[in-house]
């Protein structure tokens, strides 16, 4: 007990808010303040995704022109997803599809799936030792079709500037189902600019297409915003189970590192968008690449969950300072 304070929120805590006005009107938010420099905004109405990340008051994430948007604005057809793509620090892509719209065994699949457009059925927060934990439970299902549950905990340390995303995905239906998941983590200004140092210690990197492959020597080099810039994606493969990616801004003397287990999240995509106002860097671990479910099936790397089966993933984010 701290004798100097009247309430814990003078130092750290979680507050619940609702947005007023615009496309985000009514959207629930958890504002998490860890008391030592880290602030997160978690949206239970978007499956517990992280819409904002700040470190020592500095913005770390990209926010798209769509801004906050409730699930009601979701368009599942083709690339309609982008109309409500807030981006934020984390958008969870899946579970029926990740990446390009496609048709797969009779399913017409839109861009990046729909789990991030589902409002949670349960959400609450607890203090557990030195951790502030927000738990969000979201279901994705249909009559006579796929049925999935996402049980997510975002655990934020109050002693150091680090947090973990812990997800358990369960097939609650009665048939084996394909599933994909991608942690679409989006870096933005002022963390991201042409001076940012991007480090991905991968053993192999390839361009998603010829456009990216032709500039593969510059995958780690960020650029100034450019009108009409065409996005580039690079796929990274790691030599062992220790997957990581980091970005550091020398002008600010700060950055962050993302770590994950490649035995579970065996694919990693770097999304480089240097376009004016769409200026973002995606550092995205997943169990697939963003080429669409049909391509994953063709390549033989599509994952499946049997009826009643669960799979757990953990992604850790650590804030870094100049030494």
pLDDT in tens, 7-50: 989 999 999 999 999 999 999 999 999 999 999 999 999 999 99
In this structure, is residue 288 part of a structural domain?
yes
Report the pLDDT value the prediction gives residue 2, as an integer from 0 to 100.
Answer: 85
Domain extent, residue 48, equals: 8-321
What pLDDT, in 10s, does the model give residues 95-154? 999 999 999 999 999 999 999 999 999 999 999 999 999 999 999 999 999 999 999 999
**What are all long-range contacts of 208-216, with beta carbons under 8 Å and residues at least 24 apart?**
208/232, 208/233, 208/234, 208/235, 208/269, 208/289, 208/291, 209/233
| Confidence band, pLDDT 50/70/90 cuts, at residue 239 | very high
The CATH number covering residue 130 comes to: 2.70.98.10
227 vs 2 pLDDT, higher one:
227
In this structure, is residue 2 part of a structural domain?
no
In this structure, is residue 3 part of a structural domain?
no
Q: What is the mean pLDDT of residues 263-282?
A: 98
What are the structure tokens assigned to 52, written together?
């904002």
**How large a percentage of the chain has pLDDT more than 70?**
100
Does 182 score more than 80 pLDDT? yes
Task: Report the domain count for the chain.
Answer: 1
Kindly state the greatest CA–CA separation across the chain: 64
Strand boundaries in 101-214, DSSP class E: 102-104, 107-109, 122-128, 131-141, 147-157, 162-171, 177-187, 197-199, 204-207
In this structure, is residue 17 part of a structural domain?
yes
Does 75 score more than 90 pLDDT? no
Report the pLDDT value the prediction gives residue 201, as an integer from 0 to 100.
Answer: 98
Does 296 score more than 80 pLDDT? yes
CA gap 236, 248 in Å, rounded: 19
In this structure, is residue 305 part of a structural domain?
yes
In this structure, is residue 276 part of a structural domain?
yes
Mean pLDDT of the chain: 97
What pLDDT, in 10s, does the model give residues 187-221? 999 999 999 999 999 999 999 999 999 999 999 99
Report the pLDDT value the prediction gives residue 154, as an integer from 0 to 100.
Answer: 98
Q: Which residues have a Cβ under 8 Å from the Cβ of 289 and sit 6 or more positions away?
A: 98, 99, 208, 235, 267, 269, 295, 296
What are the structure tokens assigned to 291, written together?
């080429």
- Tell which residue, 312, 195, 207, 203, has the closest CA to residue 270: 207
3-class SS at 308?
coil
Report the pLDDT value the prediction gives residue 1, as an integer from 0 to 100.
Answer: 75
Report the pLDDT value the prediction gives residue 276, as an integer from 0 to 100.
Answer: 98
Report the pLDDT value the prediction gives residue 249, as an integer from 0 to 100.
Answer: 98
| Confidence band, pLDDT 50/70/90 cuts, at residue 57 | very high
In this structure, is residue 70 part of a structural domain?
yes
In this structure, is residue 1 part of a structural domain?
no
Number of helices and strands in the chain (H, E): 2, 22
3-class SS at 299?
helix
CA gap 48, 27 in Å, rounded: 12
**Lookup result for tokens 């009826």:** 307
């Amino acid at each position: 007990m701290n004798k100097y304070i009247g309430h814990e929120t003078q130092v750290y805590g979680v507050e619940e808010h609702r947005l007023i006005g615009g496309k985000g009107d009514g959207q629930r938010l958890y504002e998490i303040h860890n008391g030592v420099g880290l602030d997160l905004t978690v949206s239970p109405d978007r499956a517990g995704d992280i819409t904002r990340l700040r470190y020592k008051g500095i913005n770390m994430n990209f926010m798209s022109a769509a801004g906050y948007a409730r699930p009601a604005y979701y368009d599942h057809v083709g690339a309609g997803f982008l109309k409500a793509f807030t981006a934020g620090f984390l958008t969870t892509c899946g579970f029926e599809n990740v990446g390009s719209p496609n048709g797969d065994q009779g399913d017409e699949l839109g861009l990046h799936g729909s789990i991030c457009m589902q409002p949670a059925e349960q959400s609450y927060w607890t203090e557990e030792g030195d951790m502030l934990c927000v738990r969000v439970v979201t279901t994705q299902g249909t009559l006579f079709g796929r049925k999935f549950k996402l049980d997510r905990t975002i655990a934020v340390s109050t002693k150091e500037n680090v947090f973990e995303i812990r997800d358990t995905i369960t097939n609650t239906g009665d048939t084996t189902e394909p599933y994909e998941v991608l942690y679409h983590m989006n870096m933005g200004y002022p963390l991201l600019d042409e001076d940012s140092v991007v480090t991905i210690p991968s053993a192999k990197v390839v361009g998603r297409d010829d456009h990216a492959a032709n500039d593969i020597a510059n995958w780690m080099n960020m650029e100034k915003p450019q009108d009409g810039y065409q996005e580039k994606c690079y796929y990274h493969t790691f030599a062992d189970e220790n997957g990581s990616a980091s970005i550091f801004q020398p002008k600010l003397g700060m950055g962050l590192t993302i770590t994950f287990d490649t035995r579970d999240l065996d694919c990693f995509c770097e999304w480089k968008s240097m376009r004016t106002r769409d200026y973002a860097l995606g550092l995205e671990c997943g169990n697939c690449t963003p080429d669409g479910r049909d391509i994953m099936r063709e390549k033989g790397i599509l994952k499946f969950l049997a009826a009643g089966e669960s799979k757990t993933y953990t992604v850790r984010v650590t804030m870094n300072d100049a030494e």
